[in-house]
Amino acid sequence: MKTAFIIFLTFLILNPVFSQGFKQEKRIYLLDITKSMFGLGASPDIFDDIKHALYNGIENINNPETEISIITFQGTNTYQTHNLPHWNFKKGDEGKFSSVKSTIDAFSMKTVPGHNTDIYSALVKAKHEIDPDKINYIFLLTDGAQSPIGRTIKHDQKDLDKLLSGWCNWSKNRNTYLFYVMLTDKAKNENIIDIVEHQCNAYVSMGTDINIAFIRPIEKQIAINLEDQPEFIEIPLTANDWDYLPADTNLKIELSANNIFELNKGSVDIKDGKLTIKIDRANGNSWHQLVSNTPRKSTLRLQISSDNGIKILDPSVKIEVRNYREKVLTLEFE
């Protein structure tokens, strides 16, 4: 008796980014422990709220293999003179996490060593922590601005601006995303907001709710074939925590100009962890007209955006439109 296996060859040579969404994650938290976080002067005392939000965010991670790094920071010299705590552990290591929480819980206005803020050095330290084999998320949690150069600070606001201005070029091939969380009005910096908003892979968030909702297409590239007469495009998504997203979350979508397909609607709901997007033939063409007039391969771009505060990571998805029959290999075994 013969057994036949039919293999679609083109599936086997899909773009290697297909596996991008299945990489392990690393989450790096930069925790400001300057005295202002505990209410020094006229600053609000927000440390307890922030630490509990941090704990909840870590506890809500589903994958026990997710690597966690927590880096506390103040002024530059405090890294050497006071040896500020820095932890690395996996989500599943409950004993280590409990020990970390005990140390953080002991922080107070009296026990933390200083009040200068060196955001620049904290970010540099985070960049050294990234794992190129994982998807890295950096959460910068601060209630202040970069302190000027002085006895304990070796870098100033210009250095921080320069670092952030180069974020897109530095991060795009490193699978690294930055969330700059300005916890209070004092931390709000319009110049930094403008710089970050013009970078890829970097986002600004305001307020003490540090558990930011973000989603990312699992695949940066998908393929459809005119031979299949497709009516829908499916974009599988991953999220840091689906519970952070409101029910019936709706996303805006836009397709690059082309003569092959157009979107049936300009927005779509997330259902079952994916976007199912209805497409129509452009200009009322028949399938026969599309097949006759479309090149063997065409590339379209689907842009995803949100108006409800959800951060979209890698919002551009490449759609390869193929106009040829898939090659089939049939293997027969006795």
Domain with residue 299: its CATH number is 2.60.40
Residue 20 pLDDT greater than 50, yes or no: no
Residue 243 has a pLDDT of: 85
Q: Is the residue at 74 inside a domain?
A: yes
Domain boundary among 153, 186, 212: 212
Residue 211 has a pLDDT of: 83
pLDDT digits (tens, 9 = 90+) for 182-200: 999 999 999 999 999 999 9
Q: Is the residue at 333 inside a domain?
A: no
For the ranges 102-106, 155-159, 268-272, 322-326, which has the lowest average pLDDT?
322-326
CB-side neighbour CA atoms (13 Å) of 79: 17
Confidence of residue 7 (pLDDT cuts 50, 70, 90): very low
Distance CA 14, CA 329 (A): 16
Please give the mean pLDDT across all residues of the chain: 88
Residue 212 pLDDT greater than 90, yes or no: no
Residue 11 pLDDT greater than 90, yes or no: no
- Average pLDDT (234-238) is 95
Cα 246 to chain centroid, rounded:
18
Residue 277 β-bridge partners = 233
Claim to verify: residue 170 and residue 183 sit in the same structural domain: yes
Instruction: Tally Cβ neighbours within 10 Å of residue 186.
Output: 15
Question: What residues contact 41, with CB distance under 8 A and at least 6 apart?
Answer: none
Residue with the two structure tokens 């505990």: 38
Residue 45 β-bridge partners = 38
Strands (E), 46-175: 67-73, 86-90, 135-142
Residue 5 has a pLDDT of: 42
- Give me the domain span that covers residue 226: 215-322
- Average pLDDT (199-213) is 90
Between 211 and 182, residue with greater pLDDT: 182
Claim to verify: residue 229 and residue 93 sit in the same structural domain: no
Q: Is the residue at 251 inside a domain?
A: yes
End-to-end distance of the chain based on CA atoms, in angstroms?
6
Claim to verify: residue 54 and residue 36 sit in the same structural domain: yes
Confidence of residue 84 (pLDDT cuts 50, 70, 90): confident
- Average pLDDT (278-296) is 95
Q: Is the residue at 1 inside a domain?
A: no
Sign of CA dihedral 91, 96, 100, 106: positive
CB-side neighbour CA atoms (13 Å) of 251: 26
The domain tally of the chain equals 2
Residue 165 pLDDT greater than 50, yes or no: yes
Residue 10 has a pLDDT of: 37
- Average pLDDT (27-45) is 94
Claim to verify: residue 232 and residue 83 sit in the same structural domain: no
Residue 19 has a pLDDT of: 40
Cβ proximity of 280 and 274 under 8 Å: no
Claim to verify: residue 141 and residue 152 sit in the same structural domain: yes
Confidence of residue 210 (pLDDT cuts 50, 70, 90): confident
Q: For the chain, percent helix, then strand, then coil, each to nearest 5?
A: 30, 35, 40
Residue 14 has a pLDDT of: 37
Claim to verify: residue 192 and residue 231 sit in the same structural domain: no
Residue 78 has a pLDDT of: 61
Distance CA 121, CA 163 (A): 10
Claim to verify: residue 65 and residue 140 sit in the same structural domain: yes
Cβ proximity of 267 and 309 under 8 Å: no
44-65 b/e (C-beta count within 10 Å ≥ 16 → b): bebbeebbebbeebbeebeeee
For the ranges 151-155, 229-233, 276-280, which has the lowest average pLDDT?
151-155
Question: What residues contact 148, with CB distance under 8 A and at least 6 apart?
Answer: 156, 157
Question: What residues contact 263, with CB distance under 8 A and at least 6 apart?
Answer: 253, 254, 255, 277, 278, 279, 280
Residue 246 pLDDT greater than 60, yes or no: yes
Q: Is the residue at 49 inside a domain?
A: yes
Between 88 and 79, residue with greater pLDDT: 88
Q: Are strands 25-32 and 135-142 parallel, antiparallel or unpaired?
A: parallel
Q: What is the CATH number of the domain that holds 126?
A: 3.40.50.410
CB-side neighbour CA atoms (13 Å) of 112: 25
Claim to verify: residue 54 and residue 94 sit in the same structural domain: yes
Claim to verify: residue 90 and residue 195 sit in the same structural domain: yes
Strands (E), the chain: 3-8, 25-32, 67-73, 86-90, 135-142, 176-182, 202-206, 214-217, 221-225, 232-239, 250-255, 261-263, 267-271, 274-281, 297-305, 311-312, 316-322, 328-333
